């Protein structure tokens, strides 16, 4: 067997490679390249002498320009390069890299077991979702949900759970602000999440700005679907009303059964968080391989995180099916550029201290790794935050990259499951849809052996291929979506709060 590599170079043109393990000074990593100092795992080694102002290239892409001369074998950290200019958004070529369906990897199976809905994608779980119109109602709803789980749920064995969908929006906000439609759309679409089976249960306080008519159709605003806390005389009456309302919904949900469905009824999301320099080599391309299999089988796959694709936007434009899709991609990027600009920051606010410790020098490097999770399929549609897709296949859903904001945005778009890639490790999870965790390094799987569902670490050491891990992820997606398996986050109930994206002013 060939000796495992000490460093990994992605493209022939790259003048840096990343360390597979911690490397000591004086290690010969490639012919003519000996480390000049200790280099931490996942960090970059210069493969050639790079002069001051010279390009630093990884993934065949310029990550930045050397601030000083960098000799071959030196450690390149985030302080040693200047960021290149943001790629322009005008007239990006589109449709120049459309991989045909026949060239995508074949899925090993093409059906799954889901809860069919009247419209839209099928559910991966059968849940009662109780959605608040305002944070003021959250305390009551949380208590009610605990009681419903304990007192009612055991009577309805075909219902998988009860979820409080609470959020910070609803009052004390400029409800008519230009961008208020974004959080309002998120709440509106969360109420109709595919895992809630079309049963609407919306709880308001009574004096908030976000009113039922902004969230529901006129015929949906009935005592069966809405409950206003201020209408009830005290605690007991309020709780009794909530439990009575929930019981009627549980009775109907209990009639639902899983059925064998084509992949075209499956909608999932991809996200990454706590990334490192391995994410783009192992976990994200493996997830991308699974995404390609899903797309070939007819499923719909969302990927997101604007600041993490901004520097690779031209690569995405090349994969856009048509000019309209390219134009919406550019519009979403422009909107986000202005949003960041209004806050006096730019995209370089993105890499976290943990990302940098994990070897990611800047947002360009992070973006190249992040895009890998989208696989290679053409982009059929671009969504604004919290919009629902109208097409099948690979879809770019513009959301912030923040894990806890991207999650609810994709949920509002209707994902029945999220695949989450991590390098540094995060216990992240969602109550409304299962989250599968994929790690980029074997060390993290060893460390969090009972919290990470799939390790892609073997890709870096040559023990596994991207196709091996990608197929494993695909199979786990279908098993979890079908209710055959539970990811660790659901086994423990590690579920994050829903921070819906509100770019509009708070009053």
Q: Does 401 bind Ca ion (CB under 5 A)?
A: yes
Query: Interacting stretch for Ca ion, rule CB under 5 A, among 55-63, 136-144, 347-355, 393-401?
Result: 393-401
User: Is 358 an interacting residue with respect to Ca ion (CB under 5 A)?
Assistant: no
Q: Does 309 bind Ca ion (CB under 5 A)?
A: no
Shorter beta-carbon distance to Ca ion: residue 254 or 352: 352
Residue span binding Ca ion (CB under 5 A) among the ranges 248-256, 292-300, 394-402, 460-468 = 394-402
Q: Is residue 235 classed as helix, strand or coil in its secondary structure?
A: helix
Q: Residue 225 or residue 402: which is nearer to Ca ion going by CB?
A: 402
> Closer CB to Ca ion, residue 199 or residue 403?
403
Joined tokens for residue 440: 């980029």
Which stretches of 87-234 are DSSP H helices? 138-147, 181-191, 212-215
332 near 306, Cβ under 8 Å?
yes
The Cα 379–Cα 392 span in angstroms is: 10
Per-residue contact string for residues 248-287; x = within reach of Ca ion by CB under 5 A: -------------------------x--------------
Within 358-401, residue ranges assigned H as helices are: 363-371
Q: What are phi and psi of 275, to 5 degrees?
A: -75, 160
Q: Which is nearer to Ca ion, 15 or 282 (CB)?
A: 282
CB 203 to Ca ion: min, Å: 29
Size of the site for Ca ion (CB under 5 A): 3
Q: Is 403 in the site for Ca ion (CB under 5 A)?
A: yes
Residues whose CB falls within 8 Å of the CB of residue 334, separated by 6 or more in sequence, listed in order: 89
| The 300-303 sheet, strands edge to edge | 379-383, 393-397, 300-303, 267-272, 418-422, 435-439, 454-455
Chain-centre distance for alpha carbon 362: 20
Sign of the alpha-carbon dihedral angle for 422, 425, 430, 435: positive
Q: Find the largest Cα–Cα distance for the chain.
A: 80
Q: Residue 310 is encoded by which pair of tokens?
A: 């901004």
Q: Which is nearer to Ca ion, 270 or 281 (CB)?
A: 270
CB of 308 to Ca ion, least distance (A): 7
Among the candidate windows 196-204, 233-241, 255-263, 403-411, which touches Ca ion by CB under 5 A?
403-411
Closest approach of Cβ 502 to Ca ion, in Å? 18
The CB-of-305 to Ca ion minimum distance in angstroms stands at 5
As measured in angstroms, the least distance from the Cβ of 469 to Ca ion is 20
Based on CB atoms, which residue is closest to Ca ion, 291 or 401? Answer: 401
Please say which residue, 202 or 419, places its beta carbon nearer to Ca ion: 419
Query: C-beta of 85: minimal distance to Ca ion in Å?
Result: 24
Q: Contact 271/410 with Cβ under 8 angstroms?
A: yes
The position carrying tokens 């992605």 is 10
Q: Which residue has the tokens 């995060």?
A: 426
Minimum Å gap between C-beta 503 and Ca ion is 17
Token duo for residue 164: 């409080």
From the CB of 371, what's the least distance to Ca ion, in Å? 13
19 or 417: whose CB is closer to Ca ion?
417
Integer Cα distance of 98 and 217 in angstroms: 39
Q: Computed over its alpha carbons, how large is the radius of gyration of the chain? A: 24
Angle at 282 between CA 279 and CA 287, to 5 degrees: 90
**Least distance from Ca ion to the Cβ atom of residue 367, Å:** 12
Please say whether the beta carbons of 37 and 75 come within 8 A. yes
Site mask for Ca ion (CB under 5 A), range 116-155, x = bound:
----------------------------------------
Q: Which is nearer to Ca ion, 15 or 422 (CB)?
A: 422
Residue 228, CA distances (Å) to 134, 145, 172, 207 in order = 11, 16, 18, 9
Q: Minimum distance from CB of 12 to Ca ion (Å)?
A: 30
Question: Interface with Ca ion by CB under 5 A: which range of 114-122, 370-378, 398-406, 432-440?
Answer: 398-406
Smaller CB distance to Ca ion: residue 401 or 431? Answer: 401
Q: Are 289 and 471 in contact (CB under 8 A)?
A: yes
**DSSP strand pairing (16-19 vs 44-46):** antiparallel
- Chain residue whose CB lies nearest Ca ion: 273
Is there binding between residue 419 and Ca ion (CB under 5 A)? no
> Could you tell me the smallest distance in angstroms from the CB atom of residue 403 to Ca ion?
4
Closest to Ca ion by CB, 156 vs 428, is: 428
- Which stretches of the chain bind Ca ion, using CB under 5 A? 273, 401, 403
């Amino acid at each position: 067997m060939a000796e495992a590599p000490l460093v990994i170079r992605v493209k022939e043109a790259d003048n840096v490679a990343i360390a597979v393990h911690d490397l000591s000074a004086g290690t010969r990593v490639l012919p003519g390249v000996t480390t000049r100092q200790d280099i931490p795992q996942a960090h970059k080694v210069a493969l050639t002498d790079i002069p001051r102002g010279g390009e630093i290239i990884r993934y065949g892409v310029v990550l930045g320009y050397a601030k000083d001369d960098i000799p071959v074998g030196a450690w390149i950290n985030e302080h040693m390069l200047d960021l290149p200019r943001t790629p322009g958004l005008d007239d990006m070529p589109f449709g120049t890299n459309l991989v045909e369906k026949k060239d995508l990897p074949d899925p090993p199976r093409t059906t799954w077991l889901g809860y069919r809905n009247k419209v839209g994608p099928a559910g991966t779980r059968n849940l009662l979702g109780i959605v608040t119109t305002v944070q003021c109602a959250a305390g009551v709803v949380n208590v009610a949900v605990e009681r419903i789980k304990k007192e009612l749920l055991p009577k309805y064995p075909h219902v998988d759970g009860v979820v409080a969908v609470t959020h910070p929006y609803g009052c004390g906000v400029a409800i008519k602000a230009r961008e208020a439609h974004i959080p309002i759309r998120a709440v509106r679409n969360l109420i109709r999440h595919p895992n809630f089976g079309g049963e609407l249960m919306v709880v308001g306080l009574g004096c908030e700005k976000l009113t039922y008519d902004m969230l529901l159709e006129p015929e949906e605003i009935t005592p069966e679907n809405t409950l206003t806390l201020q209408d009830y005389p005290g605690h007991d009456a309020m709780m009794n009303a909530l439990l009575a309302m929930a019981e009627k919904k549980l009775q109907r949900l209990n009639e639902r059964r899983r059925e064998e469905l084509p992949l075209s009824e499956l909608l999932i999301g991809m996200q990454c968080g706590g990334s490192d320099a391995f994410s783009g080599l192992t976990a994200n391309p493996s997830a991308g391989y699974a995404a390609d299999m899903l797309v070939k089988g007819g499923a719909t796959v969302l990927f997101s995180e604007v600041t993490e694709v901004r520097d690779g936007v031209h690569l995405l434009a090349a994969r856009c099916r048509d000019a309209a899709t390219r134009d919406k991609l550019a519009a979403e990027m422009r909107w986000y550029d202005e949003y960041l600009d209004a806050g006096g920051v730019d995209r370089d606010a993105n890499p976290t201290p943990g990302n940098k410790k994990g070897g990611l020098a800047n947002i360009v490097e992070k973006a190249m790794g992040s895009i890998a999770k989208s696989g290679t399929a053409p982009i059929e549609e671009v969504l604004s935050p919290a919009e629902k897709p109208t097409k099948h296949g690979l879809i770019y859903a513009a959301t912030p990259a923040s894990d806890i904001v991207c999650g609810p945005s994709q949920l509002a778009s209707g994902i029945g499951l999220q695949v989450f890639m991590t390098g540094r490790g995060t216990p992240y999870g969602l109550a409304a849809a299962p989250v599968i965790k994929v790690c980029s390094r074997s060390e993290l799987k060893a460390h969090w052996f009972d919290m990470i569902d799939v390790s892609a670490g073997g890709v870096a050491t040559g023990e596994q291929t991207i196709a091996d891990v990608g197929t494993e992820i695909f199979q786990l997606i279908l098993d979890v979506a079908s209710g055959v398996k539970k990811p660790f986050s659901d086994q423990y109930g590690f579920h994050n709060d829903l921070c819906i994206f509100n770019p509009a002013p708070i009053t």
